Amino acid sequence: MSVFGMPLMTLVLIVVGVILSLAALGAIYRIAVGPSLLDRVLAADVLLAIFSAALATDMAVNHHLNNLPLLVGLTVIGFIGSVTVARYVADRRPQ
């Protein structure tokens, strides 16, 4: 099946690539400009999720599982980082 003279999977890959690139640019902007440390940490977590989505897209398009250990490791690091920051922010609140 082809759309606009190209295979459907190629079109989907282009659309997903553009969306992930725009999202990554937004996250990088928030890391650079973010008014608070929490904004920067959240943007770094979002950037990690975007990178994970790009790896998953690569695995789906090329029909391989070579990046799966890296993907699992990135998600574990992202989860642990988010929990650590949430605990740090909760401990800093005035009682």
Q: Residue 38 — φ and ψ, nearest 5°? A: -65, -40
Rounded CA-CA distance 42/52 in Å is 15
Q: What is the token pair recorded at 26?
A: 């937004």
pTM of the model: 0.86
In the predicted structure, residue 72 carries a pLDDT above the cut 80: yes
Q: What pLDDT score was predicted for residue 86?
A: 84
- The number of C-alpha atoms within 13 Å of 76 and in the hemisphere containing its C-beta is 6
* Nearest of 45, 53, 48 to residue 20 by alpha carbon: 53
- Interatomic CA distance for residues 47 and 90, integer angstroms: 23
**Using one digit for the tens of pLDDT, what is the confidence trace for 4-16?**
888 988 999 999 9
The model's confidence at residue 95, banded by pLDDT at 50, 70 and 90, is: low
Measured distance CA(12)–CA(58) in Å, rounded: 12
What per-residue confidence (pLDDT) applies to 5?
Answer: 84
